[in-house]
Amino acid sequence: MGPLRGSAQVPASKSESNRALIIRALAGGGTLHNLSDANDTQLMQRLLQQPAATIVDAEDAGTVMRFLTAYLAMTGRQVELTGTARMKERPIRVLVDALRELGARIEYLDQEGYPPLRLLGCTPQPATEETSNFTELRVRGDISSQYISALLMVGPTLPHGLRIWLEGKVGSRPYIRMTQALMQHFGAQCRDLGEVLEVRPQAYQPTDYTVEGDWSAASYWYAAVALAPAGSHLTLPTLRRYSWQGDQAIVGIMAQLGVHTEYLADEQVRLSKTTPAKEVMQDFTDCPDLAQTVAVVAAALGISVTMTGLESLRIKETDRIAALQIELAKFGGFLLDEGEGRFRAGSEGFRVAGQKVATYHDHRMAMAFAPLALLGSLAIEEPRVVRKSYPQFWRELEKVGFVTDPAPAPMF
């Protein structure tokens, strides 16, 4: 296969889309443009349009489960909220405990601390002249930022607003900032004071918003350019230079792995191949969804990358650390646990020669390993998992020169 050339369309940001949908629902109106076509976003839209439903199925979507738990609880819905078998293994106690403090009545229907949940309405503390201070919560900062975002978004609807004290190390803070920025766009007043987040009691205002392209999805095109022959370059539209998305960190990370980013007019970026570094150190605390992409590229290029901030990967769609270790080993790569939260990705004799990659029901496993096709043929099992965030992924690969065989799995 020769140098990669052309343009690849990335989907709209799923993270922005799902937050905007919740906030619009709380605001009672507004038009959202360029919503993501990801299954998670389409699911969120459908569920928000079913106010009479008594059972709500969040399927395998983490943002849907967590955001709807807060939204449905604090808007007084009486409903059962469930999900897939894997979703029932993903903890939600921290969010439920916080919502109970805010007046929500929530029961666990199976295992304590995990979905499914029964929501039984809400009785928030009424606002009075004598009790005009914020309603206060203390929440661990090292949990999924989606819990914190879920609480923030319902904050303006509370009689006293909300003050959240974050305890310990805070992970994925850019996602918290994204939530606050979208809240402010819809008229909320919120402040980030470091370890304290404040939201004033004030009704959201119906507002229009255009969702930008998804930097998480863009990471797979960075990987493709990193692994492609010299002279390769790709253009990606709808990506903003000044983005709220934490995964824009891929620009700096991939600069070390041999990909240069040029910002063009009309919200486009142009990726071109350069010389990579020999060793890289990267903290993924604020961008954990990039870890799989980087680990695969590092192993394929034989670059030693020390990775920290991977704690949340254990509770994603699958245990992503274990999944990476198993699948990289098929090619001669590794992800070594060096203790104290440090991992090292790399390889010894990396080779692509028809291996089958298991995806573990995880869209990011499929897309992180797919660019290895530039080094040889391979198969991706359960290719439809990409519908969760990037339904057009395989089609976009074909547009820039990849060859796929859809049966029984995409072969490159």
Instruction: Establish whether 241 is an annotated binding residue.
Output: no
Instruction: Establish whether 77 is an annotated binding residue.
Output: no
Instruction: Establish whether 356 is an annotated binding residue.
Output: no
Instruction: Establish whether 146 is an annotated binding residue.
Output: yes
Query: Any residues with CB less than 8 A from the CB of 35 and at least 6 apart, and which?
Result: 12, 17, 20, 21, 41, 45, 211
Separation between Cα atoms, residue 68 and residue 91, nearest integer Å: 15
Active-site residue flag, 289: yes
Instruction: Establish whether 330 is an annotated binding residue.
Output: no
Task: Report the candidate in 165, 173, 168 with the shortest Cα–Cα distance to residue 196.
Answer: 165
Instruction: Establish whether 121 is an annotated binding residue.
Output: no
Catalytic residue among 214, 247, 289, 362: 289
Separation between Cα atoms, residue 64 and residue 403, nearest integer Å: 34
Instruction: Establish whether 17 is an annotated binding residue.
Output: no
> How far is CA 26 from its chain centroid?
22
The DSSP line for 204-257 is: -----EEPPB-HHHHHHHHHHHHHSPTT-EEEEES--SS-S-GGGGHHHHHHHT
Instruction: Establish whether 105 is an annotated binding residue.
Output: no
Instruction: Establish whether 316 is an annotated binding residue.
Output: yes
Task: Report the candidate in 242, 257, 247 with the shortest Cα–Cα distance to residue 290.
Answer: 247
Instruction: Establish whether 377 is an annotated binding residue.
Output: no
> How far is CA 394 from its chain centroid?
20
Instruction: Establish whether 19 is an annotated binding residue.
Output: yes
Q: What are phi and psi of 112, to 5 degrees?
A: -60, 130
Instruction: Establish whether 388 is an annotated binding residue.
Output: yes
Task: Sort strands 117-122 and 342-347 into parallel, antiparallel or unpaired.
Answer: unpaired
The DSSP line for 76-91 is: T-EEEEE--TTGGGS-
Instruction: Establish whether 248 is an annotated binding residue.
Output: no
DSSP run (H or E) holding 384: none
Q: On the CB side of 396, how many CA atoms lie within 13 Å of its CA?
A: 22
Instruction: Establish whether 273 is an annotated binding residue.
Output: no
Place of tokens 């929530």: 106
Q: On the CB side of 75, how many CA atoms lie within 13 Å of its CA?
A: 19
* Residues that are catalytic: 289
Please report, in range form, the residues annotated as the binding site for phosphoenolpyruvate.
14, 62, 90, 146, 320, 364, 388
Please report, in range form, the residues annotated as the binding site for 3-phosphoshikimate.
14-15, 19, 144-146, 172, 289, 316
Please report, in range form, the residues annotated as the binding site.
14-15, 19, 62, 90, 144-146, 172, 289, 316, 320, 364, 388
